[in-house]
Amino acid sequence: MSPFLDAKADPVILRKQSFIYSQNSRLKQKMEKHVADIYKFLDPFRNHDDCHLHPQPPHLDGRSTRKIYRNFYWTDDSGTHKLGVNAGLILLIMEHYLTDAQKAGYINQSWQLSHLCGNWTCCNWRHLTVESGPINVSRNACFRSPGVCRHSPPCMKDKKRQLLVTHVTCRTIRDAIVSLQYYLCIEDYLDFLNSGASAFKEQIWENGKLGWCGLCGSLNRSPHICWPVNCLEKCKQMLQILQFSAQLVPEVGPAIEYLSKIKEDLKKSRVVGNLAAPVDT
């Protein structure tokens, strides 16, 4: 049951309370659909303990918004409401994983969704919690430190990784790869192939000839995340391909710059991912 609030309370507080405790069936259906839409993007064979990283998180003007959220609209006895809600909060609500204290903190004290794994695109509700802003922010320093975590619940420091590849980056790389078909003859390209990377490079060539995304073969013409770039070895191979053609296509220059940054991030992620887990004292 919703706790009593004065009718003169802050309208935002009233909307949050209505959202958390609403029995509106249409609102519940919208929340269920939002969760189902997120799960469509995730690996169906994902491990429950691992991060479930959203492959196409929202971006604004080429920069990550650093949160996955949507606006909800619903009507109850007090009127019509609109509220922007973090997807992680929806996941916790649907899993019945919010405590009364967390609900009250979110409604009355602007508590925030927090990723215990430190990865803002993670959609694994087991890696999420709701806590005060200062505690949430303090986790950033904890992830950067090799020391023992003192938070409760503790940070999942072994899960922290670099989050890579914005939509704009993938679009630039994709444009460069697809453009290669107009400048490289197949004989020159095949001469460049080596046994260790031949299958990958042939895949890019074939996709590019058809006008598809060279990286993943997607027919989607809009910018999108290409999973192969998230592998350090594939990233190095992609750089070799672009550098081989650097003087041929105008798009290649910025693509090499973007991809070089991604390669460095991938190298860092290996270090971050190997941080020693907190030791019990």
**CA dist., res. 250 & res. 179, Å (int):** 9
- Above pLDDT 70, what percent of the chain? 63
- State the amino acid at position 272 in one-letter form: V
Question: In sequence order, which residues have a C-beta less than 8 Å from that of residue 18 and are 6 or more positions away?
Answer: 2, 74, 76, 78, 81
**CA dist., res. 157 & res. 208, Å (int):** 39
Question: Which of 230, 238, 236, 239 lies closest to 270 in space, CA to CA?
Answer: 230
Q: Which stretch of 1-5, 183-187, 234-238 has the lowest confidence by average pLDDT?
A: 1-5
**CA dist., res. 171 & res. 148, Å (int):** 40
**28-62 per-position pLDDT tens digit:** 999 999 999 888 878 777 888 998 888 666 653 44
* Confidence at 70, pLDDT banded by 50, 70, 90: confident
Element (H, E) at 197: none
pLDDT of residue 279: 31
**CA dist., res. 278 & res. 281, Å (int):** 9
Classified as helix, coil or strand, 18 is helix
CB atoms < 10 A from the CB of 213, how many?
A: 24
pLDDT of residue 276: 33
**CA dist., res. 274 & res. 158, Å (int):** 7
Rounded to the nearest 10 degrees, what angle do helices 11-21 and 100-109 cross at? 150
Sequence-ordered strand ranges (E) for the chain: 59-60, 63-64, 69-76, 79-86, 112-115, 128-131
Q: CA geometry: angle at 163 spanning 221 and 67, to 5°?
A: 80
User: Among the ranges 59-63, 78-82, 205-209, 213-217, which has the highest mean pLDDT value?
Assistant: 78-82
- Look at the block and give the residue holding tokens 């799960």: 39
pLDDT of residue 63: 47
Classified as helix, coil or strand, 108 is helix
119 vs 180, more confident: 119
Please give the DSSP secondary-structure letter assigned to residue 86: E
Element (H, E) at 71: strand 69-76
What does the block give as tokens for 43?
């690996």
**CA dist., res. 254 & res. 40, Å (int):** 32
What does the block give as tokens for 154?
């503790």
Q: CA geometry: angle at 116 spanning 35 and 100, to 5°?
A: 70
**CA dist., res. 69 & res. 47, Å (int):** 24
**CA dist., res. 234 & res. 263, Å (int):** 10
Question: Which of 35, 204, 200 lies closest to 124 in space, CA to CA?
Answer: 35
Is there a contact between 177 and 218 (Cβ–Cβ < 8 Å)?
A: no
**106-145 per-position pLDDT tens digit:** 999 999 999 999 988 899 999 999 999 999 999 999 998 8
φ, ψ dihedrals at 113, nearest 5° = -70, 140
